[in-house]
């Protein structure tokens, strides 16, 4: 047997053992990066700030409903519109939520089948995601964004917007985001109704948005208390 092979054989054997022991770790890591979406919740401090935004929104909604009952449709519409700004502010609190809002903006920017304009936003989106804490949710979001970018560049098949929505879900907190989005949707519907048919808005029309805000505020306060304990 050649002397060179004898000398390097122990090294090759050790390297083989190392590779064999390393591969399962790689496989386990690949499997665990699929973190559950909707669980990326802000810290207690951020949640309490969100609760303040929600409280302000609720106060404006109540003022709008009271104005409607008095027949003051101008105040009804103005306070209803103002509530939208605080709701959007609540939806953007925290690094994960801000990145999710950026993803929403990119999705809304698509106006045709040409992805060139959307692709110009991906360096910023990658930077926003990589600035988040290095955990499984961040890794899953970055992976989904990478897939969306590859599809837009025709390097793989699929729906890039679905991948972006998937990335967004990894960076949001369902307990807060779902009722908050319901409130935002209801606010938009009420604004449209108020601007086009002011007299047709009735107090009952406010029930859904009030319930959604109640649920969102309940989550922020309970979750904030949990983190403090």
Q: How far apart are CA 135 and CA 205, in angstroms?
A: 42
- Does the structure show a pLDDT above 70 at 22? no
pTM exceeding 0.85: no
The two three-digit tokens of residue 224, written as one number: 């904030």
SS3 label, residue 79: helix
Q: What's the rounded mean pLDDT across residues 1-25?
A: 39
Per-residue pLDDT for 42 more than 50?
yes
Tokens of residue 28, six digits: 């386990």
DSSP for 54-77, please give it.
HHHHHHHHHHHHHHHHHT-HHHHH
User: Residues 157-214: pLDDT tens digits?
Assistant: 999 999 999 999 999 999 999 999 999 999 999 999 888 866 688 999 999 999 999 9
- Tokens found for residue 100: 């999710």
Confidence at 20, pLDDT banded by 50, 70, 90: very low
Token pair, residue 195, equals 């601007």
Please state, in angstroms and as integers, the Cα–Cα distance from residue 223 to each residue in 9, 49, 158, following that order.
Answer: 58, 13, 37
Q: What percent of the chain has pLDDT over 90?
A: 69
- Tens-place pLDDT, residues 46-55: 999 999 999 9
Confidence of residue 15 (pLDDT cuts 50, 70, 90): very low
Burial status of residue 22 (CB atoms within 10 A of its CB: 0-12, 13-18, 19 or more): exposed
Q: How far is CA 99 from CA 94, 102, 119, 123, 125, in A?
A: 9, 5, 16, 13, 7
């Amino acid at each position: 047997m050649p002397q060179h092979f004898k000398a390097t054989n122990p090294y090759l054997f050790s390297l083989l053992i190392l590779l064999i022991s390393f591969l399962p770790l790689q496989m386990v890591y690949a499997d665990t990066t699929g973190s559950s979406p909707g669980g990326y919740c802000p810290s207690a401090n951020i949640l309490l700030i969100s609760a303040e935004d929600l409280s302000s929104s609720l106060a404006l909604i109540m003022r709008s409903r009271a104005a409607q009952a008095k027949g003051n449709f101008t105040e009804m519409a103005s306070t209803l519109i103002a509530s939208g700004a605080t709701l959007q502010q609540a939806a953007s609190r925290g690094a994960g939520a801000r990145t999710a809002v950026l993803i929403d903006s990119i999705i809304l920017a698509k106006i045709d089948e040409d992805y060139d304009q959307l692709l110009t936003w991906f360096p910023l989106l990658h930077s926003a995601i990589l600035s988040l804490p290095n955990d499984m949710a961040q890794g899953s979001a970055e992976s989904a964004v990478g897939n969306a970018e590859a599809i837009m560049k025709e390097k793989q098949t699929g729906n890039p917007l679905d991948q972006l929505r998937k990335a967004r879900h990894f960076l949001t907190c369902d307990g807060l985001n779902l009722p908050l989005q319901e409130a935002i949707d209801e606010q938009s519907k009420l604004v449209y109704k108020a601007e086009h048919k002011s007299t047709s808005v009735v107090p009952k029309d406010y029930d859904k948005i009030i319930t959604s805000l109640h649920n969102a505020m309940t989550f922020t306060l309970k979750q904030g208390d949990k983190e403090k304990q």
